[in-house]
Structure 1
Amino acid sequence: MINLIPKEEKKKVIRDSYYKLVILFLVMLSTAILIAFVVILPSYFLSSVKNSIINVKLEMQKSEPMPPPDQQTLIVIKNLNNKLTLIENAENNKFTISRKVINAIVLKKMPDIKITDISYENDPLKGKKISIEGNAPSREVLLLFRLALENDNNFKQVDLPISNFVKGSNIQFYLSLIPS
């Protein structure tokens, strides 16, 4: 088929189609922005009116004199202060077994020893105490574990009852530690 349109005219038609495409894109974009603006406008006005109403109420409340607290309010405040003091004192006297102590126990443990329970207690009469229960394959391994804990500075006293050494192998042991 023979092309009857000259090259200059072809280029002009292609350029015009690009211009039309760009103009169409800009018109659609501006229409979308206009629709979004119209949709958001009522919400904006509503929130600005609510904001001004809240500011007016806040100014009115600031200008009002503060009434003196009545007897019941004072009692509630005093009771709350007592409870807060009690909680703060309990936090100061709290015995927490730290990560440092648990890590010291776990790092001193031989691979053959299986620890099944680590517990702690804070008795006002006896003091702080950490108890360890577990299984050891032999007396020698259990004795080495006890010696390793005794040499650790985190513990003042390591108590391993002699009854744990009655069995020769597969020993279920109970060990108590007093932290420093």
Structure 2
Amino acid sequence: MFNLLPENLKKNIKKEYNLRRVIIILLFFAFVQISFMIFLLPTWLMSNYKEEDINLRGINLNNHLESLNIASTTENIKSLNSQLSIMDKALSYPEIIPYLDAVLSKRSKTINISGISYAVSDSKNAVLTIDGTSGTREALVSFVKNLQALGMFKTVDLPISNLAKDKDLTFSIKITISES
């Protein structure tokens, strides 16, 4: 087949053909994009509204749970307080602080207290044990007599074995406390 077109016209026709081809391809992509947007828009709008609805439900649920937590926590605290007050009334023990103050106020300079223990036998009686050292026997006897003279204690017991030495005596005094 003979080609009767000149070379420059052939080039122009090829350029025009390529340009038309590119335009067709671009129009096809534009059509695909526009149709994609048109078909996707309803789905996007619906998911946006659902997201707002879920966020609103979450906020409402959090507010409701907070109000329930506050109410249940308040109820739990009130219940525990009532139970603790019942236990406090049932388990009333003699207070130790006034007795310790009395013991420490009667201590002389030669009496060194190394240990104090407190044991509750029942709701009305307790035993206070005082351990320590005394410089002299007379100071220890005087300390015990001063404690007995207070009249706060049911008994003040100093075992005789604690008075075996004249100086540097180790002692253990048992004091019975009774609240009536």
TM-score normalised by length of structure 2: 0.50
Measured in 2, the distance between the counterparts of 1:98 and 1:127 equals 11
**Equivalent residue for 1:113, pick from 101, 111, 119:** 111
What is the CA distance between 1:124 and its match in structure 2? 3.0
Residues 97 and 120 of structure 1 are in contact (CA less than 8 Å); yes or no, is this contact kept in structure 2? no
Aligned equivalent of 1:148: 146
Residues 125-168 of structure 1, C-alpha deviations (whole Å, 9 max, x = no match) = 99311110010011111100000000012212101111101122
Aligned equivalent of 2:170: 172
What is the CA distance between 1:98 and its match in structure 2? 3.3
**Equivalent residue for 2:85, pick from 84, 88, 99:** 88
More displaced, 83-92 or 159-168? 83-92
What is the CA distance between 1:85 and its match in structure 2? 5.2
Residues 118 and 127 of structure 2 are in contact (CA less than 8 Å); yes or no, is this contact kept in structure 1? yes
Residues 16-63 of structure 1, C-alpha deviations (whole Å, 9 max, x = no match) = xxxxxxxxxxxxxxxxxxxxxxxxxxxxxxxxxxxxxxxxx8xxx8xx
AA paired with 1:137?
G
Q: Which has the larger radius of gyration?
A: 2
Residues 162 and 171 of structure 2 are in contact (CA less than 8 Å); yes or no, is this contact kept in structure 1? yes
- Give the aligned CA root-mean-square deviation in angstroms: 3.4
- Closer, same or farther in 2 for the Cα pair 1:125/1:101, shift >3 Å? closer
Residues 53-98 of structure 1, C-alpha deviations (whole Å, 9 max, x = no match) = xxxx8xxx8xxxxxxxxxxx9xxx89x95x6555323323242543
What is the CA distance between 1:116 and its match in structure 2? 0.9
Gaps (5+ residues) in structure 1?
A: 1-56, 62-72
Identical aligned pairs, as a percentage? 26
TM-score normalised by length of structure 1: 0.50
